Amino acid sequence: MTADRLKHYAALPVPRYTSYPTAAEFSAAVGAGEQERWLRRLDGAEPVSLYLHVPYCRDLCHYCGCHAKAYRRDSVIDTYRMALEAEIGTVAAAARRRLKVSRIHWGGGTPSSLGAEGLASVVAVLERYFEVLPEAEHAIELDPRLVDASLAGALADLGINRVSLGVQDTDSLVQAAIGRIQPVEQVEAAFSGLRAAGIQAINVDLIYGLPLQTIKSLARSCATVTRLRPQRIACYGYAHMPHRRANQKRISAVSLPSPDERIDQAATVADCLASAGYKTVGIDHYALPGDPLLKAQEDGRLHRNFQGYTDDDCPALIGFGASAISHLADGFVQNEPDTTRYVHLAQEGLLPAIRGCRIGQAERLRGRIIEALMCNFTVDLDRHAPGEPFADELALLRPMISDGLVTLDGRCLRMTAQGRPLVRVVAALFDSFRQQTRGQFSLAV
Q: What is the pLDDT of residues 190-221, one digit of tens each?
A: 999 999 999 999 999 999 999 999 999 999 99
The whole-number average pLDDT for the span 363-372 is 96
- Does residue 276 have a pLDDT over 70? yes
Work out the number of other CB atoms within 10 angstroms of the CB of residue 75.
9
Angle of CA points 180, 182, 186, to nearest 5°: 150
Query: What's the pLDDT at 443?
Result: 60
Query: What's the pLDDT at 67?
Result: 87
Query: What's the pLDDT at 440?
Result: 53
For the chain, what percent of residues have pLDDT higher than 90? Answer: 90
- Does residue 436 have a pLDDT over 60? no
Classify burial at 63, counting beta carbons within 10 Å of its beta carbon; exposed 0-12, middle 13-18, buried 19 or more.
buried
Strands 331-335, 325-328: pairing kind? antiparallel
Whole-number Cα distances in Å, 201 to 191, 198, 289: 10, 9, 13
Q: Is 233 helix (H, G, I), strand (E, B) or coil?
A: strand
Query: What's the pLDDT at 434?
Result: 81
Record the pTM.
Answer: 0.94
- Band the pLDDT of 325: cuts 50, 70, 90: very high
Residue of 306, 316, 348, 321 whose CA lies nearest to 125: 321
Are the C-beta atoms of 110 and 69 separated by less than 8 Å?
no
Average pLDDT of the chain? Answer: 94
- Does residue 439 have a pLDDT over 60? no
Task: Name the helix (H) or strand (E) containing 344.
Answer: helix 339-347
Residue of 354, 356, 382, 351 whose CA lies nearest to 368: 382
The whole-number average pLDDT for the span 126-144 is 98
- Band the pLDDT of 442: cuts 50, 70, 90: low
Query: Which range, of 7-11, 56-60, 320-324, 349-353, averages the lowest pLDDT?
Result: 7-11
Looking at the DSSP bridge assignments, the partners of residue 415 are 406
The whole-number average pLDDT for the span 60-79 is 92
Q: Is 192 helix (H, G, I), strand (E, B) or coil?
A: helix
Looking at the DSSP bridge assignments, the partners of residue 270 are none
